[in-house]
Amino acid sequence: MGCCLCADHNCDLAAVMEMGAIELDSFVTITFENTLYHSPYFVAIDDRTRCIVIAVRGTLSLDDTIVDLLYDGVRLEEIETFVARQTGTTPTFVGHRGMVGSARRLYQRLLADGVIETARAQRPGYSLVVCGHSLGAGIASFLTLLLRPIYPEVKGYALSAPLGMMNAELAEYTKPFLVSIVYGFDAFARMNKATVMDFKWRLIDALSVCTVPKYRILSRGAELCLGRCFLRCCSPCCFPKNFADRTVGRDTFLLDQETQDRLINPNPELPRWDPVSARATPTEQGDAAEVVASGSGKFSPLCLRRHLFHHCLISTSSN
């Protein structure tokens, strides 16, 4: 970063060319700009398959993560109108808010820059293909939908697209022109609102159960990581012979057996009712119960921050 070799994303461009086996003159456009609702992408010509390819990068920055977490649904009115004109029936198409927003912004930029028409002028008769991985797969899916009224031959390939990014009616509609590909036990393809919320409640449950100061746990983890991954190889004489043979359970000597069992076998439902364990005050328990009873299924950021701050005060005072 900052050196002449890597200036202007030269290293990024070299990586794309190497991994994709793409010649420099095959690119119509490529951008590494990465902001909220704008993921890096490129448009290239593939003479081997006679395709014009639009490829969108997946999650690799904080802005990308924020887009991932904007998982509430949004209507795709423009696609609903297009389908209604074709079929005479009005569907209800709902998609992932962050990905739909990114796809709309990319769609507008592609049309404004005219790169697709430029590529079609260079290679008449080539078909249009949109692809992406992870977040890019979701953006590519909705971009395919947006491009279809103008380019009916467009095909989309979503590699490890997040789970539940569109409703069932929209998924059924996209079957003829959109292919979703999942490799093995890829975790990204199994992430959706439910799994993210479950992970959040498991974290809160762990915070409420563990009373050991967090700096002690983190320093212990750093010690073990350095010992196993680096120092053990460079300076084996500095560590006992059985250092690498310790199991995860033995590493957690800071915790009593009951806490270890609770962390290994969490009860993520408990924090939904009582986010600071049994030591919460009646007022806090009432707040949590009110949230659950309202059916929202989650705390507001301010409410959640207050509960966690209260727990940190309890943990600090008890240690």
- CA-to-CA distance for 80 and 90, rounded, in angstroms? 6
Give how far Cα 41 sits from Cα of 110, 232, 304, Å: 11, 41, 36
- CA-to-CA distance for 255 and 249, rounded, in angstroms? 10
Q: Which stretches of 76-157 are DSSP H helices?
A: 77-87, 97-113, 115-122, 135-147
Q: Identify whether the C-beta of residue 41 lies closer than 8 Å to the C-beta of residue 64.
A: no
Query: Which strand ranges, in their side-by-side order, compose the sheet holding 178-181?
Result: 27-31, 41-46, 51-56, 127-133, 155-159, 178-181
- CA-to-CA distance for 44 and 115, rounded, in angstroms? 10
- Which residue in 12, 46, 113, 186 is the catalytic one? 186
- Which residue in 102, 134, 141, 160 is the catalytic one? 134
Question: 179: which 2 tokens?
Answer: 């292919």
Token pair 């297009």: residue:
82
Active site includes 198?
A: no
- CA-to-CA distance for 210 and 312, rounded, in angstroms? 11
Provide CB contacts within 8 A for 288, sequence distance 6+: 272, 273, 274, 275, 280, 299, 307
Question: 24: which 2 tokens?
Answer: 């420099």
- CA-to-CA distance for 275 and 205, rounded, in angstroms? 7
Q: Identify whether the C-beta of residue 234 lies closer than 8 Å to the C-beta of residue 168.
A: no
- CA-to-CA distance for 61 and 2, rounded, in angstroms? 19
Question: 268: which 2 tokens?
Answer: 């993520």
- Active site positions, annotated: 134, 186
